A = this chain, B = another copy of it.
Amino acid sequence: MGPLGILGGGQLGRMTLQAASALGLDVVIAERFPDSPAARLTSQSIVFETGWDDAAALDRLAKLAPVVTLENEFVDWRVLQALEERGVRVLPSPSCVGVVQDKLLQKQALARAELPVPMFCEVADPAGLIGAAQELGWPLMLKARRDGYDGRGNVLVHDASEVEAAFAKLGWPGRELFAEAFVDFERELASLVVRGTDGQVAQYPVVETIQDPNLHICREVLAPADLPDDVAQNAAAIARGAVEAVGGVGAFGAELFLLPDRQVCINELAPRPHNSAHYTIEACWSSQFDNHVRAVFGLPLGDASLRAPAAAMVNLLGTRSGPLANEDLAAALAEPHAYVHLYGKAANRPGRKMGHVTALGASPAEALARARAAAARIHI
């Protein structure tokens, strides 16, 4: 099998590359700058000097890699299309990514598939939002249709007096926005779904994700989530249905809300391996990265179930600048059955995902205590 091309050189590309390399595959990393975390793990990388639409770089990638996937969901779907036009097999498909990366189109696709989503509507301008509030109620979420992540691109609007400022904050009129009913969820859940070109699915357990309230970044993941069976099954079915609704192939992270009445609704999809499933590297029979690679090459998917009773993951978020102290890594590795992953990023900065720690245990609480103990020793 020919080399796998990956658009994006961050940690998701790096971990996908690691999984591909176990199967003997060469990987070509495409990124807009040199020396990305993933590019440092291959002898074949391409720098997109002028941005993702760099035609000469696309030509080179198409020559090297017959199959291309992405780890960065912000690569515009038209770039994927340009690769397809050069004869490359791109998975997930440009049309699927085009729907997913526009959160309004994504929501519309999920709603059409009769999946539970918060009420939403398109808004053209501030007056439109005030009109929409009659249906959605206050407070509501104003969101950018594209390029939002980790809470960026969202503003909670409490009443009409905040509307103008919210539009300005999100960059309107330079960016298209939409509005969504505010969901007063109880917990956030996630499930990683890998879908093959033939429709086969490997689905990982429903997990609980805990966000940092200030940074709006995932801090911790508990696997499995502590849920009644019927709730977990419903959440899993919604996640799987969502990936099918957009015709996804490869790994998709589905972010879900658990409501106070035990109902579940879907927040959004990410068309790539997902932070909420990093724990699968050690905790499941086949990791999300392994199954992502298998899916894009049309290989049979591996078992996505847990091979340990429980797991927990803690993200290592940058808190400062400067390199990691060796003593910190040594102290973290002294914690038994805790797995420290560092992404090899050249520079840290507050809130940046620099690595993660996964721990296994007899229960999610035990695993979390171990993962926290190890992570707390790393000052990065």
Contact = CB atoms under 8 A, between A and B. Distances in A.
A362 interface: no
A353 to B, nearest CB: 12
Interface string A284-308: 0100000000100111101100011
Given A285-B337, A337-B285, A329 B40 contact: no
Contact of A35 (B43, B285, B333): B43
Interface residues on A, range: 35 or more
B21 A344 contact: yes
Given A40-B42, A43-B40, A330 B300 contact: yes
Nearest to A43: B40
A25 B300 contact: no
Nearest to A17: B41
Contact of A18 (B22, B43, B330): B22
A355 interface: yes
Interface string A1-39: 100000000000010001001111110000000010001
B22 A341 contact: yes
Given A39-B43, A43-B39, A43-B40, A24 B333 contact: no
Interface string A265-281: 00000000000000000
B329 A23 contact: yes
A1 B326 contact: yes
B21 A41 contact: yes
Interface string A303-338: 100011000000000000000101001100110110
A45 interface: yes
Contacts of A207: none
Contacts of A326: 1, 297-299
Interface in A117-132: none
A343 B326 CA distance: 31
A24 B344 contact: yes
A68 to B, nearest CB: 17
Contacts of A39: 43
A357 B300 CA distance: 16
A24 B343 contact: yes
18 contacts: A14-B21, A22-B339, A23-B329, A23-B341, A23-B342, A24-B342, A25-B342, A25-B344, A26-B40, A39-B43, A40-B44, A41-B41, A43-B45, A285-B336, A285-B337, A299-B326, A300-B334, A302-B333
Interface of A: 1, 14, 18, 21-26, 35, 39-45, 285, 294, 297-300, 302-303, 307-308, 324, 326, 329-330, 333-334, 336-337, 339-344, 355
